[in-house]
Amino acid sequence: MYFGVFSSQNTDKTPTASYKYTQEFRSEAEKVLNTRPAPAKPWPQKRIKAASHEDHQSRVGGLRLETAAVRVEGLAVNYGSFVAVENLSFTVKEGEIYGLLGPNGAGKTTTLKVIVGILEPRAGKVEVYGTSVSNEVLAKSQIGYVPEEVVLLDSLTPREFFEFVASIRRLDKESVNSKLERFASAFELKQYFDTPIAALSMGNKQKVAIITGLLHDPKLLILDEPLIGLDARSSKILKELIAFHAKKGGAVIFSTHIMEVAEKLCTRVAIINKGKIVGQGTVEDLRRLVKSAEGSLEDIFLKVTEQEAGMQDIIKALEEE
Amino acid sequence: MRFSELWRLSGTAYKEVSFQSIFSLRAGSSLPRSGRRDIKQLVANARMNTLISKLITAGFIGFFAAVIFLPVTTSYTGSTGQEGTALLADVSAFLAVVLFLIVFMGLQVSTSFVSSKIVDVLSPLPLSKQDISRIVFLSFIRIFDIPLIAAAVIFPTVYSLISGSVLGGIISLGGIITAEIFALALTTVLARFFYLRVTSAGGRSKWQTLLRLVFMLVWILPTFAAYLVINFAANIVQSFAGLMQGFSSFSQILALIYPFSYGFLASSLTFLGQTEYTLLSLSAAASIAYAILAYYCLKWVTRTIRNMGVSAMGRGPREIVKDTLIKPQVPWLGIIRKDLRVASRAPSYASLFFLPIIQTAILAIIFSSSNGLGLTTTLGFLTGMSLITLLLPPTLSSIEGLASAYMRHLPMRKITLISAKTLLSTLTYALSLIVLSIIALVLGKNPTLILTYGAIHGFSVAAAVMLELTILTRKFWKEGFAVGNLYSRLSTYVLIVIPGYFLASIPIVSAIATLSIAPSFLLPVFLAAALTEFTLMTAVVMLQK
C-alpha cells in the first residue's frame, strides 16, 4: 500500500515493506518544512499586515478550532458567453487537503485561478483566511501556487527566478536561503540552478514552480495538477510535503486526474462537472451519495460525472478495431 | 512535396506565429476573458494586427524608395557623371536600408517565432526533415512578405521611371533580392547565436554576464545601422557622390564591395555609353559572386531555420553549481533586476532597450556639426531623446506579460510595478543625457543648457512614463496578456505612446511659447510645467492599489 502512509489523515492504512523508505521521505519532507523561515518582512503599509499561522488557530481549552482557510460562495465565472463555473460553493478548513476532481474543462483550473487572484469572477464571494481575494496583495501573500501549465520566465535561471519571487514576497535572506538549500537538495535541482529555465525539462520546470510556491511558507497551498512531469522520487516527496503541510495546520487545495492519489491523500474531495459541484465530502460520503458500499473513487467519479454509462461499449468497440 | 502544398502548410504555421506574437500564449500569457466566439475574433484581430504592421513597414520602405532617395538624383540631372554617381549611391544605400530594416524586423519577431514552437509541432508529423525546413522557412518568409515585395517592386519601378533604364531597374531588383536573402541569413545567424550561446548557456559568472552584454551590443548593431542610414540617407548619398568624384581609384575597390557592386552595375548599365568598362566588369563579377553567395545563403537558411525552435536549443556545458544562495532585494529593485536580465536575453527587448543610447549617438553626430548649442537646439534634442525613451514603457510592460498566467498570482502592487519601471525608463533617459553632455564637453561645447533643461525635462519624461505605465498596467491587470512585441502590435504601441508624447511635449511647447512672449520667465515656466506634470502623475500612481 504505497499511499497508505504518506497522509496523516489516513492512519487506518496498513504499512508494508515500503514503510521504511516512506518514513525516510517523510522525515525528509518534515526536515524541509520544519525549517520555517522567519516571516516575510512586514509590509510597510500598516493595513497590509499579514497574519501568522497561529493567528488563525484559535484555541479554546487547549482544543484547536478549525478555521476556514478558503471560503467560496456562489462562485460564477464566464468566458464571454461561455459559463465556466456556476454557483460553486465550498469551504476548506485548516489542516485539510481538499481535492478538486473533474473531467477536462469542468472548471477546476478556473476555480483555482479565481482563488489565487488570476481571474475575476462574474459573481460570488471568495475569501482566503477571512480576506476577500479582492484584497489582492494580502490574499496572495498567504498562498503558494503551482499552476497547471508551468510557464515561468524562461530566459531566467532558477536562481534568478527564485530571487525575483523572494524579492516580490519580501523574504528574509537567511531563512529563504536555508529553505532553498533544503528544497533544492530534496528535489535534486541544485545542479540546474544556473541553467536557463527554457533549457530545463518539464519535470525540472515543475520543480522550480513547486519550490517557488513553497518558499514563503504559505498557509494555503493551491496545486493544480502538481504531479505532472515529476519523477517518482520528487512525486513522493511532494506528496509527503503536502501531507505534512496539512498536519502542521496549513490548508491544501489540489486538483488531479489521478484518482488513487486523491483517494489516499485528500481529506475531502469535490467533484466538479460542467462548472458545478456534483459531489462533495469524504470518500465515504461520496459512496453514500452513489449508494455504493465499496467502489473506488474512480468508480464514484465516473458515476457522479455520468461518464460510466456506455463506457464499456466504447472500450469494447475500440478493442474490436 | 509540391511547393503549393508547402505554401499552404506554411500558412497554418504562420497563423500560429502571428497569433503567438500578439498574445504570447506559449510564453505564459492568458487570453483575455472571452468566449469561444470571441477567440475567433481575437485570431482575426491578431491577423489584422500583423497585416497592419506589415503594411506600415511596406509603406515606410515605399516612401523611402520613392520620396527620400530618388529626388536626390533629380538635383544632379543634366550632369551625367554626377547623376550616375548619385544613382549608384541611391541603389547602395537602399540595399543597406533593406538589409538592416529586415534584420531589425527579424530580430523583433524571432522571439515569437521561437516561442510559437512551430518546429516542435511539425517535427512529429510524417514529414521529411527537408519539408519541415521548407515549411518553417516559408512561414518565416510570410512574416515579411509584404515588405519584401514592396521593396522589390517599388524601388526598381521608380528607378526605371526616373533613370529611364529598365536594365538598371532589373539590376537593382537583383540587388534587392540579394539584400533580402542576406538579411534573412543575418537574422538567422544572430538568432542562432542568441539562443544557442546566450540563452542556453545561462550562468552567473562575470564572463557569462560580459558575454551577454557583448551579444546585446552585436544584437543592436543592425538597429543602429538602419537608424543611421535612414536618418542620414540624404547626407550619405551626397557625401558619397562627393567622395567618388574626389577619389576615382577608390571606386574600383568599392565596386567589389557589397552593396556598392550592385550600385555600380545598375548605374553603369543605365549610362552604358559613358561607362568605364573596368568598373562595369568588376561590379558585374562581384554582383554575380554575391548572387551565388545569396543562393547558398538561401539554402543554408532553409536548412538551418528549423533549428530556431526551443527544443533545438543547445544545452551547453553547465557551470558547476557551488551553492543555492540568492539575494532577495526590495520588490521594486527585484523588478528592475528581473527586467534587465530578461531584456539582456530576449532579442525583441534588447534592441529596444538600447534605442535611447542609439538616439544619443545620433544626436551627438548632429551635435558635432552644429555651431553652437542654443536653447532651440537644446529643446529639439530633448524632444528627440524623450520620444525614444517613451518607447520603453510598453516594452518593459510586455516583459511582465511573458509569464502573466503565473506572475499575476504574486502579491505585487501596481504602484511598485509602475515605480520600478518608471525609475528604469527615467534612468535610461538620464544616462542618455549624461552621455550627450560628455560628448558636448569633448567637443568643446557648453553643456549647461542641455544639462539644466534636460534635468528638468526628466521630471516631465518621468510623468509621461508614469502615464503610459498607468494605462498599460490597468490594461495588463484587466486582461492579463502581453502587449506583444513592437512589430506585431505597432498600433497598440502608437496608441499608448501618444499620450506620453503629449505630456512630455507640454514643457517644451510652453517654453517655446514663453520664449516669444516673456523670455525671462522661460526657465520658471519650463520648471513649473515639468514639476506640475510630475506631481500630478505621482498622485495618480499613488492612488493605484
Across chain B, which has 545 residues, the per-10-residue mean pLDDT values are 85 75 50 55 70 80 72 57 76 84 74 67 79 85 86 89 87 93 86 64 61 64 65 64 66 83 88 80 92 93 72 55 88 92 74 68 66 77 85 81 76 90 92 83 82 94 94 69 51 79 94 88 93 96 83
**Is residue B180 domain-shared with residue B271, that is, in the same domain?**
yes
Geometric angle at alpha carbon A257, from A255 and A260, rounded to 5°: 100
Is B325 within a domain?
Answer: no
pLDDT at A49: 38
pLDDT at A168: 92
Domain boundaries, chain A: 2-281, 285-321
Question: Are B409 and A194 a contacting pair at CB < 8 A?
Answer: no
**Which chain A residues contact residue B27 at CB under 8 A?**
151, 154
Of A165, A190, A209, the CB nearest to B324: A190
A198 — contact with chain B (CB < 8 Å)?
yes
**Is residue B121 domain-shared with residue B228, that is, in the same domain?**
yes
**Is residue B348 domain-shared with residue B469, that is, in the same domain?**
yes
Is B437 within a domain?
Answer: yes
**Is residue B151 domain-shared with residue B237, that is, in the same domain?**
yes
User: What pLDDT, in 10s, does the model give residues A198-235?
Assistant: 888 889 999 999 999 999 999 999 999 898 888 899 99
Residue with cell 568643446: B444
B333 — contact with chain A (CB < 8 Å)?
yes
Is B303 within a domain?
Answer: yes
**Which chain A residues contact residue B318 at CB under 8 A?**
191-192, 194-195
**Is residue B227 domain-shared with residue B301, that is, in the same domain?**
yes
Strand order through the sheet with A82-93: A82-93, A68-79, A123-128, A131-132
- Give strand ranges (E) for A111-250: 123-128, 131-132, 143-146, 220-224
**Is residue B335 domain-shared with residue B259, that is, in the same domain?**
no
Rounded distance, CA A213 to CA A198, Å? Answer: 19
pLDDT at A123: 93
- Give strand ranges (E) for B167-278: none
Which percentage of chain A shows pLDDT scores above 70?
A: 78
Final residue belonging to a domain, choices B275, B310, B345: B310
**CB neighbour list of residue A240: distance below 8 Å, 6 or more residues apart:** A6, A22, A25, A26, A28, A29, A30
State the sign of the Cα–Cα–Cα–Cα dihedral B77, B81, B82, B85.
positive
**Is residue B335 domain-shared with residue B305, that is, in the same domain?**
no
> Residue A92: which pLDDT band, with cuts at 50, 70 and 90?
very high
The residue among B404, B36, B24, B477 whose CA lies nearest residue A79 is B36
Q: B59 or A50, which is more confident?
A: B59
B324 — contact with chain A (CB < 8 Å)?
yes
Of A120, A155, A170, the CB nearest to B199: A155
3-state SS assignment for residue B298? helix
**Is residue B389 domain-shared with residue B305, that is, in the same domain?**
no
Question: Are A168 and B410 a contacting pair at CB < 8 A?
Answer: yes
Q: How far is B401 from chain A (nearest CA, A)?
A: 10
**Average pLDDT of A61-77?**
75
B33 — contact with chain A (CB < 8 Å)?
yes
Final residue belonging to a domain, choices B250, B277, B310: B310
**Is residue B202 domain-shared with residue B256, that is, in the same domain?**
yes
Q: How far is B393 from chain A (nearest CA, A)?
A: 19
3-state SS assignment for residue A70? strand
User: What pLDDT, in 10s, does the model give residues A252-271?
Assistant: 999 988 888 888 899 999 99
CA distances to A255, A307, B99, B183 from A310, rounded to whole Å, are 26, 8, 63, 59
In this prediction the pTM is 0.75
**Which chain B residues contact residue A173 at CB under 8 A?**
326-328
**CATH top-level class for A2-281?**
alpha beta
Count: domains in chain B = 2
Nearest CA in chain B to A213: B410
**Which chain A residues contact residue B545 at CB under 8 A?**
136-137
pLDDT at A222: 95
**Which chain B residues contact residue A78 at CB under 8 A?**
33, 35
**Is residue B64 domain-shared with residue B163, that is, in the same domain?**
yes
Is B32 within a domain?
Answer: no
Mutant choice from A41, A163, A202 vs B, greatest count of B C-beta within 10 A: A163
**Which chain B residues contact residue A117 at CB under 8 A?**
408-409
List the domain range (segments joined by +) for residue B464: 331-542
**Average pLDDT of A163-174?**
93
Does A314 have pLDDT greater than 70? yes
**Is residue B490 domain-shared with residue B446, that is, in the same domain?**
yes
Cβ contact A72:A89 at 8 Å: yes
Mutant choice from A154, A202, A214 vs B, greatest count of B C-beta within 10 A: A154
pLDDT at A166: 94
A140 — contact with chain B (CB < 8 Å)?
yes
pLDDT at A46: 36
Mutant choice from B321, B417, B419 vs A, greatest count of A C-beta within 10 A: B321
pLDDT at A53: 42
